[in-house]
Structure 1
């Protein structure tokens, strides 16, 4: 029988909370963290709202030598890794270095670092460009910096599949646990709230241009017209369940029980999008039936076509209004590769408390036959949760998380 990959530590940084307890205290009650951009002047741009992490000073948490060589997303990820180690009750030296690895996801890499070095290049000359530019922008830099800082020499890598990447990275981490690794860090972080990153996001054509924080990101709502970006993400420590219990793990949040991934067919082909199939594969991988799923954490793209596709997939598998659905990312904005790992965190905390966090600000359109949890949190007995994520380019991923026994 394959080893069970369980979550034993969490490091999370989102616009509505830093650390597990702060994040959950805000999420469980629907605390909104979307607001006007403050990290740069957004007035020249059509989209001016974001989910920003306020009050984070990397210098308070990291050695000064790391600051000049890292982008904001990497600083957030490094601090989250420290928090996850502490949460799991593990120190880097406790486990042999070749038995620990890191698999993260990234959507954009270190955009802000790259922007600053390009500015130096054009305003002052090439001699003013940091040597760290050679890697600080790179998609794999979070995996690299985490592994170096913590002496982790086991299987490591990066997954780049847009918003779906966080789930794909977690699935890759589960594979490494099943192959014999003792501990794998996994998840995703992105932080591209800077002019260069902002222009790239606007060019995608899916950003909301609303200037009302409470009415800008409205998945499954008649007024849906795009999403609001955010920054942050989550890192999970995955371990083999037997190994975790043998070392006296302080807590086990849940099990990564099933995973499925598909690619959408070519646009215009007339074929069904791949999300339904990804859900079915994840359930089959977990040995679960649709009736075993107690809540779905939706991708919640926030555009009519993509919302329709997701609602249809959920309805096809679970039946009309067949399972509670929620999208707490409406509080923070979409965190790109960080969104789905944050949803996994929300899922295990929801199971821990028996409380489904709400999809804030949304009025469900009657055209969608889904049981969307809006307005207030909903109490429920939760033993398993399905997390969905979709990315530009046709990526679909689904992960089934089970509560610990």
Structure 2
């Protein structure tokens, strides 16, 4: 019998809430985390807002050994702490489990940009003897997987995936694959942070960044006033386990089951072929063994650019029918967190499943006419969620979909 992959622990560090409960409460209050950039002077740049995790809300020195601080980038510190919280939430002590029964798969869109920029500046301005030896790995996109593995003694199947925004779902899909191959426990998800001048230029190069100055007007996915997105930092790390292993150890009831997953790549822009999203959704649903009428909510990619929003709305309407399913866009409160955004949406979907309520799309007052989607706006909507679909698309055409279902009664 194929093992069932269930989510048992959540670790969240988001611009509008540090900790899963804090994030969820802020999201239901439509409390945003988009604010003027503070970690460098944004004045020379056309965009000056970001989804930032406030220093007052997250101080890595309060959670990690001092020896780790000089050798890690901000994103890695957040990922390590989020992993600790996810394990605690799942009731798992890694020291009590065999090393090879635990693995780690994370996603990254940028690696340790802030660390890398600082060391390159040291190289240019002071010389190579002033470059940290930790530069050899702290900038690397696989560093979060490595540091989580080392910190927790996890020697099972591990890896990293790179798919921009879609990567966070790809990591969870890979975690499920490893559960099915026999690994009892996987740490998965993603945390990204690239709010430094080097990273900011990379964001701006996409030409899809909002340049509006007001936080409640800058990132409005599916709105008539959509004008691009606001980049952000943070994300979520999750514990994914074999349901039978959870029962054997007497763990708490899981948040939900990773029931289906699919990924694809958009065709070349001038090919005349449709985007990959619709067929990816259909494959994910087929993989989960559910039909469109069984899906209770869609957590959208919510790109915030009119053309991408129209394409996503068209795919949702094609699969579920016009206004056929509630659509949530909690990213409107945090900004788009690169690979960390989709795992954070997975957390929101699992919380919706547990509490029977859908989160509103922050400052968005309604979907644009003609999109044909039932966007949840204004206030939380009470709604029974047995099955949820989470979507993500990344720069370059990466496209992924994940289906979550309620845990069965015997899990």
When the two structures are superposed, what TM-score results if normalisation uses the length of structure 2? 0.98
2:314 aligned to which of 305, 312, 315: 312
Question: SS state of the match for residue 353, structure 2?
Answer: helix
Tell me the distance in 2 between the aligned counterparts of 1:20 and 1:122.
41
Query: 1:88, 1:251 within 8 Å by CA — same for their partners in 2?
Result: no
Partner of 2:378: 375
Alignment of 1:380-391 (within 5 A): 380-391=383-394
Tell me the distance in 1 between the aligned counterparts of 2:393 and 2:201.
21
- Runs of 5+ in structure 2 lacking a partner? none
Question: SS state of the match for residue 235, structure 2?
Answer: strand
Aligned-pair distance for 1:141? 0.2
Partner of 1:366: 369
1:323 equivalent in alignment to 2:325: yes
Alignment of 1:102-121 (within 5 A): 102-121=104-123
Question: SS state of the match for residue 346, structure 2?
Answer: helix
Question: SS state of the match for residue 102, structure 1?
Answer: strand
Alignment of 1:160-175 (within 5 A): 160-175=162-177
Alignment of 1:6-405 (within 5 A): 6-54=6-54, 55=56, 56-362=58-364, 363-405=366-408
Query: 2:267, 2:397 within 8 Å by CA — same for their partners in 1?
Result: yes
Tell me the distance in 2 between the aligned counterparts of 1:247 and 1:76.
28
Deviations 1:137-172 (A, max 9, x none): 001000000000110000000000110000000000
Deviations 1:238-260 (A, max 9, x none): 10101111101123100000011
Which consecutive segments of 4 or more residues in structure 1 shift more than 6 A? Answer: none
Tell me the distance in 2 between the aligned counterparts of 1:133 and 1:297.
37
Question: SS state of the match for residue 205, structure 1?
Answer: coil
Tell me the distance in 1 between the aligned counterparts of 2:119 and 2:269.
37
Query: 2:30, 2:363 within 8 Å by CA — same for their partners in 1?
Result: no
Query: 2:298, 2:327 within 8 Å by CA — same for their partners in 1?
Result: yes
Aligned-pair distance for 1:404? 1.5
- Runs of 5+ in structure 1 lacking a partner? none
How many residues of Structure 1 are paired with residues of Structure 2 in the alignment? 405
Aligned-pair distance for 1:32? 1.2
Measured on the aligned residues, the alpha-carbon RMSD in Å equals 0.7
Aligned-pair distance for 1:372? 0.3
